[in-house]
Each structure stands twice: as structure tokens, then as C-alpha cells.
Amino acid sequence: MTARKIAAAVLAAGLFMAAGHTNKTANSVQADTKPVVLAYYTDESDRSLERYHKRFNLLSTDTLNTDGNGNLVGHVPEKALAAADRYGMEAYALVSNYGENGWDGAIARRVLNEPEAKIRLIRSMLRTVRTHDYAGINIDLEEVRPEDRAAFSRFVRDTAGEMRKIGRKTMVSVPAKTEDDPENGWSGAFDYKAIGREADWIQVMTYDEHGIWGEPGSAAGFAWVDASLKFAVSQTEPSKLLAGLPAYGNDWNLSDPEDQGGGLLKWTEAQRIVRTLKNAGTRDPKSLSMSLRYNAPGGDRHVLWYEDAYSIKAKARLVEKYGLGGISVYALGMEDDSFWRALQSGLN
């Protein structure tokens, strides 16, 4: 069944709800002259949300996933939504395909290609944003197979069309890339041009350039972030783009490459190590991130790659360079006030 036939069948069956209106979207954040700052919320974010709410104006709640049948699993954080409403910020419901074994490409394949699963997922997202008064949805499907590129673009189109009918927005989280290779196993499924024609916001995940799964390096090297954004603005309207910044680094055990017990370290944890060792390490001239080699208790040799105020400020300045809509931060609860001061300094 074609996407057009799917949409017609859905509407005929009365699966989608009638158009509505929300005060939250009456005055679009995109109309503001200042860059927006989106913060990702997890179940460890409540304290940061209350403490640093003046530092950002969009919230994306990372608490919902989809199964292969298009059902939503997880929960809606009512306390966080109440806080967002109290502080006058737009909140987006993030829906991902993160399953019991991590990012699940099989789940993405089913909800993108099987009509019943696709219809059920879009209907569930519509119900969620209306019931809980979200400003919109944040589609975060990862490990999408290259052969599902067209199906993903159609899914964004169909979701955005239905969201517009009820006065809500569609954000799409996409992996960063410096060129469009449709065969690439990680980013090939994401057609920036097609997505940009439909989405209100595109959140470019300019983080995880390196991670514990591979060789040591910056999570978001300046040169890589810069090249990724340069490509992104060549494909779609810059004012729709949000550049992602990590509030974390990574720690590798060089003595035991099989040891992944350290892995991701929050901004605050990395700063604690630096203070304890009284050694900040060295700045990598290409990534502008910090690298610190040290011996852990027990003698194992480690290397920590992390962000500091200088690197965060430098990467935040790319928003102005490329005329982006703003920036996004993953995730609330990993950072402290020094992170936000650096970010605001770069944006200003």
C-alpha cells in the first residue's frame, strides 16, 4: 500500500483526531530573534530543570519509546510538563525506538513500513501531545536502515501533516553527517532535504563522534561539528536547525580495552576527576576538547575526553556562524551552572 493510500485509509477510518488549537504554539519560538535552547529531559533531570530553567526555553522529554506494533511504552513526566508550563517553555514528547537491547532497527523498520503499525504510532503520538498539552513531537528513530530512507521521509511527512492539523509541531532528531551517502549504515536513511520540507525543527545530533564502542576521542570535536553543520545548512533552512551539544564526555580504560565499565561521564563527573587529580590535561587543537590521561585506583591507565567551558563556548558560536535556529543539550542533570554560563557566553 502506498503512503497516499495509507493516509486516505486512516482518514476514512477516523483514526486521526480533528484539528485543534494550543496556546503553547500560538507564538512560535521560531519567530524570536534570539537562538532557542532545547534541553533534553530524562528521569534524572528534575533538579536541573528547577535550578536552570532560565537557561533554556524548549524541553524535550526523553521518556517514551515505541514497540514494533506502534504502541507507546514508557511514561509522560507530568511533573516536568507542569514545570515547563509554569516557566512558559514549549515541551516536545520524544518518541524513540530504544528497546531492551538498545537502539532497535527492526522496530524502526516495522513502524515505517507496516501500515497498521505506522497508523497506530502516529495516532498514539497525536493522542499523547493532545492529552498532555505538548507543543509537539520529537521523532528520534535511530539505527534506521538505509533501505528505509524513503519510508522514513514519508513517515515524517505524514506525522507532520497530522500534527499541523491540531496546531502542533514536529521535530526530528537526525544523526550528524558531513555528506549525504544513502548507503551509509548509520546516517544514510536520513534525507535532510526531504525531512526539512516537512519538519518544524531538525535537531542535528552533533555528538557521539567518538564513544566507548570505538577509539578514544572527542564526543563532539569542533572540526567535525563545524563540517556537519556546514553540510546541514546546505540541505535545509538554517533557522530550522538545532545543533546538539553533549553535557558529557567519555572515559576509556587503556589497560583493558574490553572494560566498558566507565564509558560516558557526565560533565560534573569529569570536572570532579579534574579537581581530584589537579590536572586538566591538554586541549586537542582540532576538536578543542580536553584529553586527560591518568592512572585509576588499582593502576589501570585511562584516558578521559571531556568538554570544558572553552570548548562549549566555541561550539555554541557556530549557531551564529551558520544562522541556526538554536542549540540543543543532552541532557539535563549531567551539567552544572558552569556549563550553562559557557553556553550562553557562546550564544551571546
**Cis omega (within 30 of 0) on the bond before 331?**
yes
Closest CA to 211 of 179, 175, 241: 175
Give yes or no for a contact between 68 and 117, defined as CB atoms under 8 angstroms apart: yes
Could you give the CA distance from residue 311 to residue 281 in angstroms, rounded to a whole number?
14
Could you give the CA distance from residue 142 to residue 165 in angstroms, rounded to a whole number?
26
User: What's the gap between Cα 74 and its chain centre?
Assistant: 18
What is the residue-wise DSSP string for 291-310? EEEEEPTTS-EEEEEE--HH
User: Which residues are identified as catalytic?
Assistant: 142
Residue type, 19: A
**What are the residues whose beta carbons fall under 8 Å from the beta carbon of 143, sequence distance 6 or more?**
97, 103, 104, 105, 108, 186
* Cβ count within 10 A of residue 25: 18
Could you give the CA distance from residue 91 to residue 328 in angstroms, rounded to a whole number?
13
- Please identify which residue in the block is written with the cell numbers 554560563: 341
* Cβ count within 10 A of residue 24: 21
Residue type, 38: L
Strand 263-266: give its sheet, edge to edge.
Answer: 263-266, 248-253, 301-306, 290-295, 282-283
Could you give the CA distance from residue 215 to residue 80 in angstroms, rounded to a whole number?
36
